């Protein structure tokens, strides 16, 4: 019998999950849960590359786990856990870091962007972030990584790191494939549609958060930047409208062509309001689930403790092999 493929992905708990995170990543996570062995992680160690307020960070981390569940991920089918609960992530990061060149890390565009945004705290964690991401993925012999397009460069580096290790020390890691949605791999900012929608955008109108109120969503959508063509078309010359069509299509399951043809001859105003309503409808069950889970902290604790226990076992199997391959004396 063919073995089920292993899937790993995660989001860093900073701010709040965005519609971009959902369409680019979480939507696929749910779609993969029946046919694959899936591990979905709250990558809290990654968040530490930016200074966090400890009290707030604790709450955000638990809220992220709750949002994973509220988005429909089944804790019986998936391993859902905090990265910091499985210390092998940090151990493998060190080992892989010793096989990753400074030149490779220097080429990472996210490092350049984030250094620019956090000029007063360009720390070494920010620089080695992609090695921690490689460790997250390789630790579980992952085959598929469902992520947004922005993670392409990091995933290519992960593949290089895995292949290099396998060549030097013998077959140890699976070389993972990236799994991106056909539509929605890069949801753009509502205010600057040439930039990706991001949790940390300073302009609050640029991003829809899954936890935004209905009023806020309607206001942000009405203010979304479009163009002066006044024609609903899916083309690069109209990036704002193209982005809204992508969102509409991703959340309703209608094809791009169907959305465009349904709005032929209609104005931007009506289309923005309808897209806002699609988002609001889509988020209604999510918000209800979130509230229900938040009222049940024991359940949440049970999910992440069980998740960490399972992940620990799998991670230790890989680390035993890695230590052996490298000639480290076994415990
Ligand atoms: N705009 C986006 N469109 C599609 N996918 C996206 N992802 C992020 N933004 C978009 C995907 O969401 C997953 C989790 O992302 P992350 O938490 O690891 O952080 P990120 O990629 O750095 O996302 P942000 O929102 O831009 O966070 P900040 O502002 O903190 O840097 C990933 O699979 C990502 O591809």
Contacts of 327 (CB under 8 A, 6+ apart): none
Ordered per-residue pLDDT tens for the chain, 331 residues = 678 999 999 999 999 999 999 999 999 999 999 999 999 999 999 999 999 999 999 999 999 999 999 999 999 999 999 999 999 999 999 999 999 999 999 999 999 999 998 899 999 999 999 999 999 999 999 999 999 999 999 999 999 999 999 999 999 999 999 999 889 999 999 999 999 999 989 999 999 999 999 999 999 999 999 999 989 999 999 999 999 999 999 999 999 999 999 999 999 999 999 999 999 999 999 999 999 999 999 999 999 999 999 999 999 999 999 999 999 999 8
Tokens 């109108």, residue?
Answer: 205
* CA 267 / ligand 1 centre spacing (Å): 31
Active-site residue (options: 30, 141, 196, 220): 196
Count Cβ atoms below 10 Å from residue 20 Cβ, excluding itself.
Answer: 24
* CA 35 / ligand 1 centre spacing (Å): 25
User: What pLDDT is attached to residue 118?
Assistant: 87
User: What pLDDT is attached to residue 117?
Assistant: 87
Active-site residue (options: 77, 152, 195, 199): 199
Angle between helices 109-117 and 124-138 (to 10 degrees): 140
* CA 168 / ligand 1 centre spacing (Å): 33
Q: Which of 82, 198, 201, 250 to mutate to test the pocket of ligand 1 (most atoms within 8 A of CB)?
A: 198
**Which residue from 236, 237, 241 is spatially nearest to 226, judged by alpha carbons?**
241
Report the C-alpha gap between 18 and 46 in whole angstroms. Answer: 17
CA distances from 55 to 13, 83, 85, 89, 301 (A): 13, 18, 18, 23, 18
Q: Residue 70 corresponds to which tokens in the numbers above?
A: 């509220």
* CA 150 / ligand 1 centre spacing (Å): 7
Known catalytic membership, residue 288: no
Minimum-distance ligand 1 atom for the alpha carbon of 43: 18
Q: In what order do the strands lie in the sheet with 144-146?
A: 78-82, 37-42, 6-11, 144-146, 177-179
Q: Do domains 5-180+297-326 and 204-291 have the same CATH topology?
A: no
Q: H-helix or E-strand containing 98?
A: none
* CA 324 / ligand 1 centre spacing (Å): 35
Q: Report domain extents, the chain.
A: 5-180+297-326, 204-291
Per residue in 97-156, pLDDT tens?
Answer: 999 999 999 999 999 999 998 899 999 999 999 999 999 999 999 999 999 999 999 999
Report the C-alpha gap between 37 and 274 in whole angstroms. Answer: 37
Query: Is the pTM value of this prediction over 0.85?
Result: yes
Q: Residue 175 corresponds to which tokens in the numbers above?
A: 């070389």
Q: What angle do CA 167, 173, 178 make, to 5 degrees?
A: 110
Q: Whose CA is nearest to atom 18 of ligand 1?
A: 11
Known catalytic membership, residue 77: no
Binding pocket residue ranges, ligand 1, CB within 6 Å: 11-12, 14, 18, 20-21, 23-25, 147-148, 150-151, 185-187, 196-200
Count Cβ atoms below 10 Å from residue 93 Cβ, excluding itself.
Answer: 22
Report the C-alpha gap between 129 and 108 in whole angstroms. Answer: 10
Task: Determine contact, residues 20/196, Cβ cutoff 8 Å.
Answer: yes
* CA 266 / ligand 1 centre spacing (Å): 32
Q: H-helix or E-strand containing 41?
A: strand 37-42
Contacts of 204 (CB under 8 A, 6+ apart): 220
Q: Whose CA is nearest to atom 2 of ligand 1?
A: 20
User: What pLDDT is attached to residue 1?
Assistant: 64
Name the fold adopted by 5-180+297-326: Rossmann fold (3.40.50)
In sequence order, what are the beta bridge partners of 41?
10, 81
Q: Which of 13, 21, 242 to mutate to test the pocket of ligand 1 (most atoms within 8 A of CB)?
A: 21
Minimum-distance ligand 1 atom for the alpha carbon of 9: 33
Tokens 């988020």, residue?
Answer: 283
Select 204-291's CATH number: 1.10.357.10, 1.10.240.10, 3.40.50.20, 3.40.190.10: 1.10.240.10
Known catalytic membership, residue 199: yes
Count Cβ atoms below 10 Å from residue 199 Cβ, excluding itself.
Answer: 16
Minimum-distance ligand 1 atom for the alpha carbon of 148: 35
């Amino acid at each position: 019998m063919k073995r089920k493929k292993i899937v790993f992905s995660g989001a860093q708990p900073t701010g709040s999950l965005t519609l971009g995170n959902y369409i680019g990543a979480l939507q696929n996570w749910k779609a993969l849960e029946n046919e694959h062995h899936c591990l979905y992680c709250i990558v809290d160690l990654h968040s530490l590359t930016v200074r966090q307020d400890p009290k707030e960070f604790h709450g955000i981390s638990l809220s992220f786990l709750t949002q994973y569940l509220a988005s429909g991920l089944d804790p019986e089918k998936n391993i859902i856990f905090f990265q910091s609960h499985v210390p092998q992530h940090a151990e493998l990061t060190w080992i892989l870091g010793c096989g990753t060149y400074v030149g490779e890390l220097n080429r990472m565009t996210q490092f350049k962007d984030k250094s620019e945004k956090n000029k007063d705290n360009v720390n070494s964690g920010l620089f080695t972030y992609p090695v921690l991401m490689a460790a997250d993925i390789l630790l579980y012999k992952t085959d598929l990584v469902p992520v947004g397009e922005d993670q392409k460069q990091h995933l290519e580096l992960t593949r290089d790191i895995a292949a290099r290790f396998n060549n030097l020390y013998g077959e140890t890691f699976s070389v993972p494939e990236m799994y991106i949605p056909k539509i929605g791999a890069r949801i753009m900012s509502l205010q600057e549609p040439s930039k990706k929608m991001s949790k940390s955008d300073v302009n609050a109108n640029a991003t829809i958060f899954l936890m935004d109120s209905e009023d806020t969503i309607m206001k942000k959508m009405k203010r979304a930047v479009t163009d002066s063509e006044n024609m609903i078309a899916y083309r690069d010359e109209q990036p704002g409208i193209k982005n809204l069509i992508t969102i509409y299509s991703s959340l309703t399951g209608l094809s791009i062509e169907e959305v465009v043809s349904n709005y032929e001859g209609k104005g931007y105003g009506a289309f923005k309001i309808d897209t806002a309503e699609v988002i609001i409808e889509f988020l209604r069950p999510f918000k209800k689930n979130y509230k229900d889970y938040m009222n049940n902290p024991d359940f949440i604790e049970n999910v992440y403790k069980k998740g960490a226990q399972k992940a620990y076992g799998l991670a230790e199997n890989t680390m035993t092999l890695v230590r052996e391959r490298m000639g480290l004396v076994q415990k």
